[in-house]
Amino acid sequence: ASMEALSLSPPMSPPVILTQDELKKIAAYKAVEFVESGMVLGLGTGSTAKHAVDRIGDLLRQGKLTNIVGIPTSKKTQEQALSLGIPLSDLDSHPAIDLAIDGADEVDPHLNLVKGRGGSLLREKMVEGACKKFVCIVDESKLVKHLGGSGLALPVEVVPFCWKFTANKLQNLFERSGCVAKLRSDCEGKPFVTDNGNFIIDLYVKEELGDLQVASDAILRIAGVVEHGMFLDMATTVIVAGELGITIKNK
Ligand code: 5RP
75-99: average pLDDT: 98
Give the phi and the psi of residue 12 in degrees, each rounded to 5. 80, -10
> What pLDDT, in 10s, does the model give residues 200-209?
999 998 888 8
C-alpha–C-alpha distance, residues 2 and 9, integer Å: 23
Give nearest CA residue, ligand 1 atom 5.
Answer: 104
Average pLDDT over the chain, rounded to an integer? 95
What is residue 191's three-state secondary structure?
A: strand
Beta strand 225-228 with 180-183 is unpaired
The model's pTM:
0.94
Contact 99, 31 (CB under 8 A): no
Give nearest CA residue, ligand 1 atom 7.
Answer: 104
22 catalytic residue (yes or no): no
The secondary element (H helix, E strand) that includes residue 166 is helix 163-173
> What pLDDT, in 10s, does the model give residues 177-220?
889 999 999 999 999 999 999 999 999 988 888 899 999 999 99
72-94: average pLDDT: 98
Tell me, in angstroms, the distance from the centre of ligand 1 to residue 53's CA.
14
> What pLDDT, in 10s, does the model give residues 115-124?
999 999 999 9
C-alpha–C-alpha distance, residues 49 and 7, integer Å: 22
Q: According to the model, what pLDDT value does residue 1 have? A: 66
| DSSP helix, strand, coil percent of the chain (3-state; round to 5) | 30, 25, 45
With cut-offs at 50, 70 and 90, classify the pLDDT of residue 241. very high
Tell me, in angstroms, the distance from the centre of ligand 1 to residue 59's CA.
23
CA distances in angstroms from 110 to 21, 155, 251, listed in the order given: 25, 20, 8
Q: Is the pLDDT of residue 11 over 70?
A: no
